[in-house]
Chain A
C-alpha cells in the first residue's frame, strides 16, 4: 500500500526530529523543513497528505505558510502546532482551512487521533471523488432515440464500426447528438471497460488544449505545480473523443497526427516518452473536405482520421423521430421537476412537427424543458412553446411588423402574468416604452 506522506515544518530541530521518528514508526513517509521557504520548496516536489506547521517561526509564520500552501495544494490536511495558543490565531487558522490547531507539548493520544481523523477525512474526500467518477461511468447512457430509417442506418453503422478499432469521424449539425453517437461506438466496442475521455477542442484555447491533451510535467509552465496526466494518457485502453476536430490549430494538427501514427508522446516540459493505446473518435459540424481544400485542415491528418465516417442527419430530415423524442423529454423533465405533465396537446404536437429545428435535438429538448417550466396544465399546449414555433417553417404569412410585435408583447405579458417590469426585461425595453406600446396597440393587461 502507498505510504501516506507527512511534512513537518518547525524551526526547532528537536521537534522536527521527534515528530519525524514518531510518524516513521507509524508507517508514514516523512519529510521535514526548518522554515516556510524550505517547506514551499518541498511542496513542489509532490503533494503531502498532512502538513504539520509550527505557528511561530522566523521569517514566514505558520499562518502565512498555510495561505501559501493552499495556493499550491487544496487537499493537504494542515495542522497548526504552537507553543503559545491564542483563540485569535486558532480561529484564523481554522478559518483559513486548517484541519486542527494543537498546542505543544501534545498528548500522544491527541496527536494519534488528530492524524487518524485528518487521514479519515482525506480518504473520504478522495473516495467521494472516485465514487462520483464511478457513478458517472456507470450511469446508463442516454438512449439514442430514432425510429426513422435515417437513424436506424446510423445505428447500424455504429454497430458495424464499434467492433473494429478504426478511427471514426462523426459529421452532423450542432445539436444532432454527435457525442451520444461517439459514446455508443465506445459502449459497443471491446474497449468499453476502459474510459471514454471527451475533449471539446473548440471550447479550449490552443495553449490549454496542448496541456489538456498531452499533460505536463511539474514546472512546465507558470502554474504547473504538479505533474498532470493529459487526456490522451487517461484514455489508455479506452476511447478518446475529440469534439470539434475541425477547429484545432495547425500546430495541434501536427502534434495529433504524430500521436496517431506512433501512439507515443511526451508530456509538456517532459522528456519521457509515453505510450497510450487509445481509439480515436472525433466529431465535427464542419465540412472537413472543404477545410482541406481551403488549406486550414491538414490533408494527411484528414486521411488519417477519416477511416470511417458517420453522418448524423438533422432532425428536419427525420421528422418521424420528433414525436418519440418529445415523449422522452416530457417524461424526463416531468420526473426531474416533479410535474404531473403527461403529454403534449394535438395542437402543440402539430407545431412541434412543423418546426424546422435548426438547433436539432438540443433545441427540441430545450423547448420541451422550457414548456415544462412555464406550463400550468397537465398537457403541453401551444402557449407553453416558444412563440417562434407558431410560425411553421416555410410558411410566410403576410403580417406586418407591427402585428408581429403586438402578438409578441401579448404573449410575453401572458407568460409573465401581466407583470410589466418582468415583461419589459424579457422584451429588452424599458417600462415606459412598454407602456407606450400597450397604449399604441390597445393591449390590455
Chain B
C-alpha cells in the first residue's frame, strides 16, 4: 500500500459537521496514512433523482474523483444527502474497490432519522466507521466475516453500531 500517501476527507458542498476533526482522528487511527481535509463543490443536482428524492452515489463518486489532489492518494467524500445506487433502496456509502475514492452519507446515520433523540456522539462514531469501511474498500479490502471488524458488511445502522471502528488484525495486515 501507499504508506505516506495522504487520505483526503472531502466535505461536499459546504457540509461542515462540528466533529470533522474527531472524524479525521478516527480515520488516522485506522490507517497509517496522513489525513488531510479539503472542501469540494460538486454538481449535486446532476446526481439528483427526483422520483426517488435521492442522490445517485455513483455519479457523486465520479465527480469527487476529479478532485483527487494527487494520484496515489485516497479521497473520501462526506455529504448529508441521501444516497442510492439504482438497484438498491439506499446506500450508506460507495467506494471504488481497490481504487482511489469513496463517498459516504450521514443522512441515515443520524439517530433522529429513526425517531430517536439527536445524538452527535453516535453520529460521529457511525460516520468514522462508514468512512473507514469505504476507505478500506478503496484500499482493496472486501467484507470481513469478523463481526467486530469495521470491514464487516453493514446493511442496517444497527450493524454499524455493532462493529468496531478498527480493522481486525487480518484486514489490517492486508492493508499494511
A residues near B, CB below 8 A? 12, 14-15, 17-19, 21-22, 24-27, 81, 104-109, 111-112
- Establish whether residues B85 and A25, one from each chain, have CB atoms under 8 Å apart when the complex forms: no
- Total number of A-B contacts with CB less than 8 angstroms? 58
- Establish whether residues B153 and A15, one from each chain, have CB atoms under 8 Å apart when the complex forms: no
User: A25, A104, A106: which contacts B137 (Cβ < 8 A)?
Assistant: A25
- Establish whether residues B155 and A112, one from each chain, have CB atoms under 8 Å apart when the complex forms: yes
CB distance from B171 to the nearest CB of A (A): 12
Complex Cα distance, B58 from A21, in Å, reads 10
Chain B residues, CB < 8 A from A107: 88-89, 155
- Establish whether residues A105 and B88, one from each chain, have CB atoms under 8 Å apart when the complex forms: yes
Chain B residues, CB < 8 A from A19: 87
- Establish whether residues A18 and B143, one from each chain, have CB atoms under 8 Å apart when the complex forms: no
Complex Cα distance, B58 from A27, in Å, reads 20
| Most B CB within 10 A of own CB, among A15, A81, A108 | A108
Say yes or no: is B81 at the interface (Cβ < 8 Å to chain A).
no
B residues near A, CB below 8 A? 52, 58, 84-91, 94-95, 97, 137, 142-143, 153, 155-156
Chain B residues, CB < 8 A from A112: 153, 155
User: B52, B58, B87, B153: which contacts A26 (Cβ < 8 A)?
Assistant: B153
Complex Cα distance, B102 from A21, in Å, reads 12
The 3 closest A-B pairs by CB, nearest first: A18-B85, A27-B142, A109-B155
- Establish whether residues A21 and B86, one from each chain, have CB atoms under 8 Å apart when the complex forms: no
Chain B residues, CB < 8 A from A109: 155-156
Complex Cα distance, B86 from A81, in Å, reads 13
- Establish whether residues A106 and B142, one from each chain, have CB atoms under 8 Å apart when the complex forms: no
Chain A residues, CB < 8 A from B142: 24-27
CB distance from B151 to the nearest CB of A (A): 9
- Establish whether residues B97 and A15, one from each chain, have CB atoms under 8 Å apart when the complex forms: no
CB distance from B54 to the nearest CB of A (A): 10
CB distance from B133 to the nearest CB of A (A): 9
Q: Known contacts being A25-B142, A27-B142, A109-B155, is A14 close to B58, with CB within 8 Å?
A: yes
Chain B residues, CB < 8 A from A106: 87-89
- Establish whether residues B94 and A108, one from each chain, have CB atoms under 8 Å apart when the complex forms: no
Given A25-B142, A25-B153, A106-B88, 9 more A-B residue pairs with CB atoms under 8 Å apart are A12-B86, A22-B87, A24-B97, A24-B142, A26-B143, A26-B153, A27-B142, A106-B87, A108-B90
- Establish whether residues A18 and B97, one from each chain, have CB atoms under 8 Å apart when the complex forms: no
Chain B residues, CB < 8 A from A22: 85, 87-88
CB distance from A297 to the nearest CB of B (A): 58
User: B89, B97, B156: which contacts A21 (Cβ < 8 A)?
Assistant: B97
Chain A residue with Cβ nearest B99: A21
Chain B residues, CB < 8 A from A25: 95, 97, 137, 142-143, 153
In the assembled complex, 26 residue pairs joining A and B whose CB atoms fall closer than 8 Å, in A order, are A14-B58, A14-B85, A18-B85, A18-B86, A18-B87, A18-B88, A19-B87, A22-B85, A24-B97, A24-B142, A27-B143, A81-B87, A105-B84, A105-B86, A105-B87, A105-B88, A105-B89, A106-B87, A106-B88, A107-B88, A107-B89, A108-B88, A108-B91, A109-B155, A111-B88, A112-B155
Chain A residue with Cβ nearest B56: A14
Complex Cα distance, B95 from A105, in Å, reads 19
CB distance from A52 to the nearest CB of B (A): 9
Complex Cα distance, B88 from A109, in Å, reads 10
Complex Cα distance, B87 from A81, in Å, reads 9
- Establish whether residues A18 and B58, one from each chain, have CB atoms under 8 Å apart when the complex forms: yes
User: A14, A18, A104, A108: which contacts B155 (Cβ < 8 A)?
Assistant: A108
CB distance from A19 to the nearest CB of B (A): 5
Complex Cα distance, B87 from A14, in Å, reads 8
Complex Cα distance, B153 from A105, in Å, reads 19
CB distance from A113 to the nearest CB of B (A): 8
CB distance from A16 to the nearest CB of B (A): 9
Chain A residue with Cβ nearest B144: A27
Complex Cα distance, B52 from A157, in Å, reads 81
- Establish whether residues B94 and A21, one from each chain, have CB atoms under 8 Å apart when the complex forms: yes
Chain B residues, CB < 8 A from A104: 86-87
- Establish whether residues A15 and B86, one from each chain, have CB atoms under 8 Å apart when the complex forms: yes
Chain A residues, CB < 8 A from B87: 15, 18-19, 22, 81, 104-106
CB distance from A288 to the nearest CB of B (A): 58
Complex Cα distance, B85 from A22, in Å, reads 10
Complex Cα distance, B103 from A255, in Å, reads 62
